[in-house]
Amino acid sequence: MKLLRFEYDQHAHAGIVAGKGIIPIHTINARRGTHIPDDLLAIIQNGGTGDVGPLDEDDAIPFHLVTPLLPYDVPPKIWCIGLNYHSHAVDISAAQPEEPGSFMKPASCMFPPGGRIVLPPPQISDDVDAEGELGVIIGKKCRFVPAADVPGVIFGYTTTLDLTALDVLRKNPRYLTRAKSIDTFFSFGPVIVTADEIADVSRLEVITEHNESICSRDFVSNMKHSPYELVRFHSDFMTLYPGDLISTGCPKGARIKAGDRVRARIDGIGTLDATVTQG
pLDDT at 180 over 90: yes
CATH H-level superfamily of 78-278:
Fumarylacetoacetase-like, C-terminal domain (3.90.850.10)
Domain chopping of the chain, boundaries:
2-68, 78-278
DSSP single-letter state for residue 58: G
* Mode of pairing for the β-strands spanning 154-165 and 186-188: antiparallel
243: pLDDT strictly greater than 90: yes
Residue 198 is classified by DSSP as: -
Rounded to whole angstroms, the Cα distance separating 162 from 165 reads 11
Please report which confidence band the pLDDT of residue 87 belongs to, taking 50, 70 and 90 as the band edges. confident
By C-alpha distance, which of 109, 141, 132, 130 is closest to 231?
141
Read off the pLDDT band of 279 (50, 70, 90). Answer: confident
What is the identity of the amino acid at 30?
A
The whole-angstrom separation of Cα 109 and Cα 117 is 10
CA distance 181 to 165: 9
User: Which residues touch 17 (CB under 8 Å, ≥6 apart)?
Assistant: 2, 3, 4, 191
Which among 69, 96, 100 is positioned nearest to 234, based on CA atoms? 100
Confidence of residue 51 (pLDDT cuts 50, 70, 90): confident
